[in-house]
Amino acid sequence: MDIRFMIWLDRPTIVVSGQAYVMAGLRLPWTRASVHDMDSVELLSETEFRQRFAGWAIPPIPDAVLERRSHAA
C-alpha cells in the first residue's frame, strides 16, 4: 500500500491513492481533506511521522481507505 506521510498546517496528514486524510486536532479521528487545498505540505518518512506526532494518539488508517485500496489491486 502506498501511503504518503505529511504535515499540513502542523497537523498529521496521510495520502492514500490520491485521497487525503488529516487529523484536525489531538486524539481526533481522520477527516477526509482535499489534496487540491493542500498548498504547503512537508513529506516525511513513516518513522519521522510517528516520532513527530507521537503524542497525538494517531488512529489506524480508515477502513474504507484500506478496502478501496485492496479492491484496486
d(CA 37, CA 50): 23
Contact 14, 62 (CB under 8 A): no
Domain ranges across the chain? 3-72
pLDDT tens across the length of the chain (73 residues): 688 999 999 999 999 888 899 999 998 999 999 888 788 889 999 999 999 999 998 888 766 555 555 555 5
Residue positions counted in the chain: 73
Question: Which residue is associated with the grid cell 505529511?
Answer: 6
Contact 33, 20 (CB under 8 A): yes
DSSP H helical ranges for the chain: 46-52, 63-72
